[in-house]
Structures are given as C-alpha cells and as structure tokens.
Amino acid sequence: MPKLINLSPKKSLNHSRLLFTLAIGSLFLIAPLLSTAKIYQAEDYIHPVAPAKEHAKLSFIIAKQLQYQHYRQMVLDDKLSSKVFDAFIKFLDPNRTFFLASDIKKFERFRLLIDNNFRRGELDNAFGAFNLYQKRHAQRLTYTLNLLENHFNELDLSKNESLILKRDKLAWPKDLTEQNNLSRKQLKNLIISFKLAGKKDKEIQKLLIKRYKSQLNRIKQTNSEDAFRIYINALAESYDPHTQYFSPRVSENFDIQMSLSLEGIGAMLQSEDGYTKVKRLVPAGPAEKAGQLKAGDRIVSVGQGTGGELVDVIGWRLDDVVQLIRGKKGTTVRLELIPQKSKDEHKTKTIKIVRNTVKLEEQAAKQEIIEITDNNGQKKKIGVIDIPAFYIDFRAAQAGDPNYKSTTRDVKKLIKELKEKNIDGLVIDLRNDGGGSLQEVNSLVGLFIKSGPTVQIKSADGRIAQLRDEDESVDYTGPLAVLVNRLSASASEIFAGAIQDYNRGLIIGNQTFGKGTVQALQPLEQGQLKLTHAKFYRVSGGSTQNLGVLPDITFPALYDKDDIGESSLPEALPWDQVDKVDYDNFPALNTTFATLQEMHKKRVAHDPDFLYIQETIERIDKKKDKKTVSLNFSIRQKEYQKSRQEQLAIENKRRIAKGEKPFKNIKELDEDEDVLGLNDDHDKDEEDDKKKGDSHTMLLESAHILLDFIHLKQDKLVNK
C-alpha cells in the first residue's frame, strides 16, 4: 500500500535542489529526487492555437442564424453573453479543477463582450481562454504524472483526509498550493478505487501513468477546430441542449449515425465530464441485442477483439472514441464500463459486443401473448406489441413498393393476429423507444381512435399546426395500456400523450424523457448546425417538452431523473402549454386510477422482483447523496465491504423468495451476468427471460394492471 514517509525538508538538502523541487509544484512532497527520476514538464505538451481564417465569418453566421431562426428567440445581448461565458468556462472546466481563481478573475473582463465579439467575428478572447485551459490542464497532468512516477510509494492512504466529489458549485482553487493539494487528493481517490477493485499497486501505477500520458498526448493533438467547436457550442447550447454546431469531422460521424449504416455497436454517445457516456441505444442494434450496455453507462476503456489491450479513453475527444469503437461487421469490440446504476466508480465491468449493421427489419414491432390467471381462476390472454422505434422505409414507400415496412403497417398486422387469438386486452410496450417518424406516430394513434388531431406543432414564429388522423376506421377497440419508461422519448411521448388525452388507455410505468422539440440540420460552409425550430404540444394543450408524459400508474424508476432525461440537461426549454384543440375523447378513466394503484401496490408488496428493485434503488439513492469520500483506505475498504454485503443480502433475499439457490459470497455474485439485477425487460433470449425470472417483471405487472382495469369496468357495468 502506498505509504507517506516523513517528508519534512532536511538540513542537508541544498538550496538549489529545494528550489528545483518547489518549481515542479511538489509543495508537499519535498524529498530528494533521484537523478534517474523522470520529470514531466507541461511546456513540452502545449502549443497555443489560433482561429483559422474561416472561423471569424462562421462565428458571425452561426450567431445570426441562432438569433433569428431558433425556437427560443433570444437577443444576442449582455444577458446572453453572460450565459455563454458561464457555459464556455463550464465546458472547459466542469468540476472547477484546472483554472485558478485568478484565471477566472481575468476572464471576467470579457463576460459582457461576447455578444460584440460574435457580431464582429472576433475570437481572440475565446481562444486566449482556451489556450490557458490547455496550459492548466497540462500542468495538472504533468504534476500528477510526477507524483505517480517519483512519489507513488509515498502517498499516504492511512491519513484521515476527505475529498469533495462534485465541485461544480465550489470556488476555484485560490492558488497553486491549494490546486496541488486537490490534485493529490484526486489521485489518492483513484488509487483507492483501483485497490478496491482488486488491482495491485504496480498495476495501478502503470495504468494511471499510461492514462495521464495519453491525455497529455491528446493535448498536443488539439487544433483550432477543437477550440472553435467548444466555443461555438457554448453559444449554441445556451439556446437549448439539442442545438449544436458540428465541425466537418463530427458532422460526418453524425450523418453516419443518423443513416444507421454505421458498422459498429449501434449506440449514440456524448461527452460528459471527461467521460464518454452512452446517450441511447439504436433499436435492434448490436449493443441493444447484446443486452449489456445501457443508457447512462460511462465508457472507461476500449479494446479490439476478444483479447486486445484495453485502451483507456478517459479525457479523450468524443470523435476519437467513436473512431475506436467503430469497426468492420463481425469484429468484436470490448468496452470497460462504469454502469449507470453503479455510483461506485471503481466498480467497472467489461463487456463484448460483435459489431454489425442495423437492419430495418430487425427494428420491426413484435407481438407476444401473456397468459394470466385472474382472481376467479380463469385464464386470460393479454397481447403485447413491442415497438422499438417509429420507423418507415421511405425509399420503398416512394418507389411504390406495396409491402414497404413501417411501424403502423406492422402493428396493424400484429393487432389482427392477436385478435384472431382472442386476446382480452392489449399492452403497447414503448420502453426505450427513442422516437422516429412523426408521420408514423400520427398514423399509429389512428389505429386506436376513430379520427381527430394527434399532436400540435408550434414553430418559432408562433404558428401552430396540427397532425390529424383522417381515417375513420379503428383497428383495435378493446382495453388498452401503454408501457413507458424514462427512455421513451419524442414520438413515443406523442403516442402516449394522445392515448392519455383521448382517455383511450392506461399509461403505465415511469415519467418519460421529455423530448418535445424538433430539430433541423442546416448546412454551413464548414460543417452543419443542428437547430431547434419547433415544439410539440399534446391535443390537450400541454407540451411533452421537459415534463414528458406522467403515467397513470407508476412503477419504481430504474433510471435516475437527475442523470437521464430532458430535465437533467442544462438550458432545456421549459414546459408550457397552448390552447386545447377540439377532439372527441372517450369516457374518463381517472376514477379507476386510485383503486388500480392500490391493487398494484398490494400485489407487488410481496413480489421478490419488485422488492429487489425498490431496495436497490433506495440503496443507490443513498450513495448518490454522498458529497465526500474518505481518503483513508481502511475506512473506504470497510465501507465498500459493507456495501457489497448489503448488495449480496438484497440479491439473496430475492433468490430465496423465488426458490433459487442463494449466492455463497460476493465472488459468486460478481460472476453473475446481471450483477446489478436490473436488466431492462428487452432481453435477447426469450428462454433466458424465463430462467432469469426478473426480466419480464414490469411487463407482467402491466398485464395484471390492465386485467384489473377490465374487471373494474365490468363490475361498474354490472352494478349500474
């Protein structure tokens, strides 16, 4: 274990040696350095970047387009200038680690000049701040590397110190001494995390040296386009989080992802606090079908093939991480992850995904039947239609192919099949459905209502248009429920909102994502601008933006709203409402909600899977509230062991209740494929679903709720 020895200055230490030691910033480690010690200098890795000649014109054009074409019509003035300033500094230093308080004080002089800078195409202030950030970043990395290379065994892990994890609301370090102390503590925290994960000291030292050297080399590769992109996006994302400038290289990656022609893993990624974070999975893509990668997971390292070296990607540019993950169809990529549901950063897992292309037919809606025995002992059939995306084969449709694929056409066929099997009710499963074709969601609503408006769309100029179902025919008139979760977004929310507004069916699950805005791509001389130009509203007048759709019957939330969802994004457009439109709704359903919720609670009160999910969520929430961590290894080890024992106890409680063999120890628990026990319900293997037992939990309970609803309605009719 690294141990700090007595490092007070010795009288024999000559003056020049002391000054040399102080010069590299080791204000707390002033033991004599060996002549063979490797010293990293920040100056060897930094090079100032200057705006390219096209950037001045481009910045002016983008600022003008945002001001006059964005849905949120904001004047480029001092107020917006101040907001862009804060966003830019946060982009560069989100955890207030690199800049000193004196740096921020210097920057303040151009806080209210940014609007003028954009009008004139001036970028000197922004590039000056970026270059200082690069310098400070390199200083932190070289400082930490010097500790790792020359003082690793002197870091004291028995000292009672603590580290504040989230610093975004704290003051910047006031001087180099305070900053060095922070860097030392952050390094100790990393070392402890790796030790808790079972890694040995030499392995930890080697891994971290490699990580920080890699980050230093990436600083050397930074160019003017990187600086420009960050600055312009500080402006763009001050309007809303879905408005972005794509540089030519990033634009190419975006186009490939949108066309689904990418030979990769089928995941949308984003950069957050130095990590590459999974934004969402492409329906029916390799990652979703593998069932191990989830939205919110953070990628720590990437390896090629089944045995290739894992390359640490913390601190990498997003487009470089994308290049590393992308590869030929049929090849394997390995990802080391910090799972979204794990708040312990040392608790990583490594998964394998075989790269492939996403095929439209694999995204098609699917049906199944769940058989349930009701309270009277009678067998009932609940049909389920799983819709992974709102898709349409535009090319085939435009070519006149009578068999072109689309969500509505497929669901229409599935409903017919289920009706022929005499189902008693139908559940539409929209969990993890991130949306898709607006045309398709409009026509899909039409399968369940006679005719009428389905959604309102308000443009930046205030005009409101409606999408309507004009087809009087109804394909399904029976009892209906829609199952949603936090990852149900955009078109999914329009469908769920319309079904709820029309009183056509129950909405079950969790509050949805809240993505109620419309974007369009605008080509630029260099790259593209993705700009928000409209907003969705329900027929009842309320927006789906930010708030999403609130379920009638609520399930435990598997995703943290603070981490995932529109409301978690900075500068997200607010919820608001417009006038309600005329539509013929069905009789009110809300008189049954309280009874249904009580029946649901009573049923799951002793359900092992629901109890497990609830207890695990509560356990994670407690950890989330923790603001600081101890840097005493012994204390952290005890905390970690206690936490793992709690996890083992919760898991075994579930297994025993289900008649399964409990795990003997933590090792057995870790060897289980779903160590967190919270797999989503879209697993790749139906037989494995049945063996696993918990993968169908939410869907099965939705079927029970719908059956309860059917009985309540029947009882009401009988008692009239």
Q: Which residues are catalytic?
A: 490, 501, 515
Report the C-alpha dihedral over residues 473, 476, 481, 486, rounded to 10 degrees. Answer: -60
Pairing of strands 425-429, 480-484: parallel
Calculated CA dihedral for residues 652, 654, 657, 660, nearest 10 degrees: -60
Amino acid at 539: V
Nearest residue to 552 (alpha-carbon basis) of 496, 636, 473, 621: 496
CA 375 to chain centre: 41
CA distance 251 to 345: 31
Q: Is the dihedral of CA 140, 146, 147, 148 positive or negative?
A: positive
User: Hey, what long-range contacts does 324-331 have (CB within 8 A, 24 or more apart)?
Assistant: 325/264, 325/265, 325/267, 325/269, 325/299, 326/262, 326/263, 326/264, 326/355, 327/263, 327/264, 327/355, 328/263, 328/355, 329/263, 329/355, 329/356, 329/357, 330/354, 330/355, 330/356, 331/304, 331/305, 331/355
Decide: 243 and 531 in contact? Cβ < 8 Å.
yes
Query: What is the spatial distance between Cα 477 and Cα 450, in angstroms, rounded to a whole number?
Result: 10
Cα 72 from chain centroid? Answer: 24
* Number of other residues whose CB lies within 10 A of the CB of residue 698: 24
